[in-house]
Amino acid sequence: MWQYRTPGIPDELFERVEEVPITKEEVRVVQVSKGRLSAGNVVYDVGCGSGSVSVEASYQIGPTGKVFSIDIDPKAIELTKKNLSKFGILNVSVILGNAKEKISELPKLMQFLSEVLGEILLI
């Protein structure tokens, strides 16, 4: 669906629901660019909301990378899954639960990037 390797998928291409926030395109571009993602990276999208950051990150890390999308809201998890399916993304694991509890079950972190509207944790 998205034919480019650069971040910046327009917001209107994502499925949306009123109750679940989306990280705006301009913020996603900065997050993903500053994260300097490359093939094979592992990304944690904490508070994934609509899954827009997960989708953008997935395109950057390619099929050899892995994204873990975590949210405590079942509506966000459902919406993230819809957007992953819409964009044909296969390298993302969607996790329902409290990030503080779930992160301890995932691979150890080496680098941390925080933004106002969300967090991406990279190893």
**Each residue of 30-89: pLDDT tens digit?**
999 998 898 988 899 999 999 999 999 999 999 999 999 999 999 999 999 999 999 999
For residue 101, count CB atoms less than 10 angstroms from its CB and return exposed for 0-12, middle for 13-18, buried for 19 or more: exposed
Sheet holding 118-122, edge to edge: 92-96, 66-71, 42-46, 118-122, 111-115
Look at residue 110 in the predicted model and tell me its pLDDT: 42
pTM of the full structure? 0.86
H runs (alpha helix) in 5-109: 25-34, 52-61, 74-86, 99-102
Q: How far apart are CA 84 and CA 105, in angstroms?
A: 22
Look at residue 74 in the predicted model and tell me its pLDDT: 98
Residue 96 has pLDDT above 90, yes or no: yes
- Which SS3 state, helix, strand or coil, does residue 47 take? coil
- Residue of 105 and 12 predicted with greater confidence: 12
